[in-house]
Structure 1
């Protein structure tokens, strides 16, 4: 069982893994993992992957506040848009129709001048990188796609009936899968190169070939998946929404820090993910 910030459990087989120590020495959430070893014949799940590769010290609140605030601002926009969908389509599941509609709700990319200004911001941020920051960003880039969100859901499953837990797991998985698919579809259509494609010195380890056009970064897939997960998880456990949004801010900042995206990529992906989260909640009757 995995438990994040704010919950203490008396079971004897639980070991604490620190997530991060943030500004002014305040501890951020701790990941709690079972002491038993995973079945070697079973493919490692999110719990085991994080246990095998626990998080380093993550970014401070001061670093993630701005991008976290921008992401929060997309939630109201998404709710208003989804109200229109729901009025026209009700709560019957129609993934194909919704995916087509949701893709159309993603704003057009910013103008060339606006994106250039954002690109320069990311270049400046890259100059502030530290070894610790790179470790944090690398972990968040890897685990922020889906593992951390699955872990957040998993830590509640021993409190609810098995069937309900299985259902919620399937719903979260569906939301994450849809967020990945739609963001990839829109990115392929809009063709906005990632910052490290425009300036390969930002991520030399990516080995970008001269003249390469992609990967494309608008909208951010990480942002879409994080927003879908946070919207869904927050409805299940409202008292833990602050934790979810904190982790969302961590993931989003890491994408700017390592030049995977510019801010408009993040906000567009967040809007898309919030729509998907709203849809999954509606069609699942929550």
Structure 2
């Protein structure tokens, strides 16, 4: 074997490794930047940034939302009385599973077919009054009324309080919204009440309901449950802003009737459920 070859080979390998290492050194900052950019693209913007990108249009007038607002407000007193019974038996210890089962039992059974048909007629009459501005407002409220509005409100408050307190309140709101979705979904699947636009597809031609479709189901309203849970909780955290929260809740739930996503009884059932959840979150957090 040629001794020169046995010496040159290691040096050749070292030279190649050196070139690769140098190239990687040059590329590494670019790779890191590309990876960071990719992560930033994948990460969803927060509620504040999302709404900032799509601020609200002119919303519904007080005259429009007031009739349903009065019915919604009545659910809070009913929820407070019911929750007092839970608290007397269970105290303020968190037990989400037991509470969810109990809260579901407090939501009344859906109205009779006759009563729901009468409510459908109300929605059909309201649909005749729709305007381009009203549709725009309802679309925005439907999109952001589930979670983002309430997260934005809480974010504004967190700017003024200690970080630890803000983190705790954020967790409370997240828990309340999650419970509202979980329980309302379970009840909807159990009671199987078709949404107004399913019963009358002309109310929402954009939904493309297939003939014979049974769902989506609308009793109780998930939007109403989440809004009520958030408002009850947020109002305890910032009482001076309670009227603002209540106004937004009224806007959200009215929009759901306006666009035939729900009849009023769906809204009231969801509101009662959400108020119970808000009371529960307040109690276990010591608010």
Task: Identify whether the pair has TM-score above 0.5, normalized to the shorter chain.
Answer: yes
Which residue is 1:102 aligned to?
A: 103
The equivalences for 1:50-199 within 5 A come to 50-199=51-200
CA distance in 2, matches of 1:41, 1:197: 35
User: In the TM superposition, what is the alpha-carbon distance from 1:42 to its structure 2 partner?
Assistant: 3.8
Q: Deviations over 1:105-138 (max 9, x none)?
A: 0001111111110000000000100110000000
CA distance in 2, matches of 1:124, 1:160: 46
Which structure: larger Rg?
Answer: 2
CA distance in 2, matches of 1:149, 1:217: 21
User: In the TM superposition, what is the alpha-carbon distance from 1:43 to its structure 2 partner?
Assistant: 2.0
Q: Deviations over 1:8-56 (max 9, x none)?
A: xxxxxxxxxxxxxxxxxxxxxxxxxxxxxxx656420111110111111
Q: Deviations over 1:179-207 (max 9, x none)?
A: 01100100110110000000111111111
The equivalences for 1:15-54 within 5 A come to 42-54=43-55
More helix by share: 2
- In the superposition, the TM-score normalised over structure 2's length comes to 0.85
CA distance in 2, matches of 1:271, 1:41: 37
CA distance in 1, matches of 2:276, 2:98: 13
- Please give the root-mean-square deviation of Cα atoms over the aligned residues, in Å: 0.8
User: What secondary structure, in the 3-state scheme, does the structure 1 residue paired with 2:159 have?
Assistant: helix
Aligned residues: 248
User: What secondary structure, in the 3-state scheme, does the structure 2 residue paired with 1:218 have?
Assistant: coil
CA distance in 1, matches of 2:75, 2:100: 18
User: What secondary structure, in the 3-state scheme, does the structure 1 residue paired with 2:122 have?
Assistant: helix
* 2:211 corresponds to 1:210: yes
Q: Which range moves more in the overlay, 79-88 or 42-51?
A: 42-51
Which residue is 1:238 aligned to?
A: 239
Which residue is 1:267 aligned to?
A: 268
- In the superposition, the TM-score normalised over structure 1's length comes to 0.86
Which residue is 2:248 aligned to?
A: 247
User: In the TM superposition, what is the alpha-carbon distance from 1:285 to its structure 2 partner?
Assistant: 1.1
CA distance in 1, matches of 2:148, 2:70: 23
CA distance in 1, matches of 2:126, 2:161: 43
User: What secondary structure, in the 3-state scheme, does the structure 1 residue paired with 2:252 have?
Assistant: helix
Q: Deviations over 1:164-222 (max 9, x none)?
A: 10110111010001001100100110110000000111111111100000000000000
CA distance in 1, matches of 2:240, 2:53: 29
CA distance in 2, matches of 1:160, 1:205: 44
In structure 2, relative to structure 1, the CA distance for the partners of 1:219 and 1:41 (3 Å cut) is closer
User: In the TM superposition, what is the alpha-carbon distance from 1:156 to its structure 2 partner?
Assistant: 1.0
